[in-house]
Amino acid sequence: MTKVIAHRGSKGTHPENTLAAFKEAVRVGSDGIELDVQLSKDNQLIVMHDETIDRTTNGHGEVGSLTLAELKQLDAGSWFEKNPMVQEIPTLEEVVMLLRKENFQGLLNIEIKTDKIHYKGIEQIIVQLMKSQRWPFEYMYSSFYFKSLEKIWEIEKNQTIASVFDMSEEKEKRALQSEFIEGIHPKIDWVLEHVEDLAEFPKAIRPWTVNEEEKMILCFSHHLAGIHTDYPAKALKIRELIQN
């Protein structure tokens, strides 16, 4: 069954990459949760999508130019007009603790945000955190930056690793040639362009960002491994409808 993976949490209904968005993703029954990880100035694992804090907080500047203590002063939720709420920027450890508390049983997709800024040593720090405790749920690593995936593979041979890309033929080819790559996370447009080849594709396919009903139906009916969506509740409802 195609996994419904909440993109940056339930991004369509709650401020992205916040504990509120992840809690909502669990509440609606998402099969998976995706988040983006970067490094603060003092090498802490920060859950945020953009390389700067300007769009999603009340602060300014690059994530990597601020310490965790400085980032923790900011509000990462009031900017979201649809459903504003005061939220801290979470660390990866805080998200994992929340998922444990909420008894999340699904898949956590940790996207290493190193495509624009190559945070030195981030892969090692993430693997260390994830291995330091026995997390009671499944997790995987993904990145747009292939070198991060290779580093993860060097450090940790037992984890699922996926390559994220938009429409890159080169990245698709590289993913196919690399045995350690379990799957691809392409832009949904890639799926639309490759409809004829989906059944034969030899690796897992989990596109992003699948928000429209007809695109969800297409992915479900082709039994893709998963979809990343801003609206997990809507996707789950549609999946249930087409299965019955």
Enumerate binding residues for ligand G3P (CB under 6 A). Answer: 7, 34, 36, 49, 111, 142, 164, 185, 208, 228
Rounded to the nearest whole angstrom, what is the least distance from the CB of residue 206 to ligand G3P in the complex?
8
By CB under 5 A, name the one of 16, 31, 75, 111 that touches Mg ion: 111
Say if residue 32 is exposed, middle or buried (CB neighbours under 10 Å; 0-12, 13-18, 19+): buried
Return the structure tokens found at 168.
């890159």
Rounded to the nearest whole angstrom, what is the least distance from the CB of residue 109 to Mg ion in the complex?
8
| 36 lines the binding site for Mg ion (CB under 5 A) | yes
228 included as an active-site residue? no
Given the residues 7, 14, 185, 228, select the one marked as catalytic. 7
Measured CA to CA, the distance from residue 32 to residue 137 in angstroms comes to: 10
223 included as an active-site residue? no
228 binds, among Mg ion, ligand G3P, none (CB under 5 to 8 A by kind): ligand G3P
Rounded to the nearest whole angstrom, what is the least distance from the CB of residue 242 to Mg ion in the complex?
26
Under rule CB under 5 A, how many of the chain's residues touch Mg ion? 2
Measured CA to CA, the distance from residue 52 to residue 25 in angstroms comes to: 24
Do 12 and 230 touch, CB atoms closer than 8 A?
yes
Helix (H) or strand (E) holding 219: helix 213-221
- Chain Cα centroid distance, residue 81: 22
Do 46 and 62 touch, CB atoms closer than 8 A?
no
Complex with Mg ion: residue 50 or 150, whichever CB lies closer: 50
| 31 lines the binding site for Mg ion (CB under 5 A) | no
User: Known catalytic residues?
Assistant: 7, 49
Residues at the site binding Mg ion, with contacts judged by CB under 5 A: 36, 111
